[in-house]
C-alpha cells in the first residue's frame, strides 16, 4: 500500500483509493453523498439485528448504498463451507429449488455430481419387472450419493 492510500482514521474510513475515494468504511450511519467508489462497502457495526453490510451501487459522485441481503444472487467460483450448527432457513411462501434444470448436476456425501436421472418406467405385474424397477431406483440413489453403493 502506497502513501496515497488511507488505512484507518478517526472518521471511520478503513480503506480509500489513490484518489481519496472510500472503498471500505465501518461505522454507525449508512453514508450518502459523494466520495465512495462504485462497489464500496459499508459495514454498519450498530445495526439492530447484528452487523449489516451495504454496497454502493451508485457512482463516486452520487452514492446509493443498498443492504446486501439474501435476495441478491450469490455466485461463487470456489467451495463454500458452513460452520457446524448453521442451518439454511427457507421461506414458506413459494418454496425453493436446488437445481432449476434437469441437466444441472448435484451430488451428496462426496459422490460425483450427476444430472437428473431419466424416468424409471412403471413395472408391469411381474416380479421381474418390479425387481428391475427397484434396481433402477437404487442405481439413481447410489449415483447421487443418497445411499452407499453395495
Give the pLDDT confidence of 122-137 residue by residue, as tens digits.
888 888 989 999 999 9
- Name the residue among 49, 50, 56 with its Cα closest to residue 31: 56
Can you read off the three cell numbers belonging to residue 56?
454502493
Decide if 133 is inside a domain.
yes
Decide if 75 is inside a domain.
no
Is 103 found in the same domain as 63?
no
Residue found under cell 418406467 = 121
- Total tally of structural domains belonging to the chain: 2
Decide if 90 is inside a domain.
no
Give the pLDDT confidence of 65-88 residue by residue, as tens digits.
988 876 556 666 777 777 788 777
Give the pLDDT confidence of 96-122 residue by residue, as tens digits.
888 888 889 988 888 899 998 888 888
Q: Considering the entire predicted model, what is its pTM?
A: 0.45
Decide if 84 is inside a domain.
no
Question: In which domain, by residue range, is 38 found?
Answer: 13-67
Amino acid at each position: 500500500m502506497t502513501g496515497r492510500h488511507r488505512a484507518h482514521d478517526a472518521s471511520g474510513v478503513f480503506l480509500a483509493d489513490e484518489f481519496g475515494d472510500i472503498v471500505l468504511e465501518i461505522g454507525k450511519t449508512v453514508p450518502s453523498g459523494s466520495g465512495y467508489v462504485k462497489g464500496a462497502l459499508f459495514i454498519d457495526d450498530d445495526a439492530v439485528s447484528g452487523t449489516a453490510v451495504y454496497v454502493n451501487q451508485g457512482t463516486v459522485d452520487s452514492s446509493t448504498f443498498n443492504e446486501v441481503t439474501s435476495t441478491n444472487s450469490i455466485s461463487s467460483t470456489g467451495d463454500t463451507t458452513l460452520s457446524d450448527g448453521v442451518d439454511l432457513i427457507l421461506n414458506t411462501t413459494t418454496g425453493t429449488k436446488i437445481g432449476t434444470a434437469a441437466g444441472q448436476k448435484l451430488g451428496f456425501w462426496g459422490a460425483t455430481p450427476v444430472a437428473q436421472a431419466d424416468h424409471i418406467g412403471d413395472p408391469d405385474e411381474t416380479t421381474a419387472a418390479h425387481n428391475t424397477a427397484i434396481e433402477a431406483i437404487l442405481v439413481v440413489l447410489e449415483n447421487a450419493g443418497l445411499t452407499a453403493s453395495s
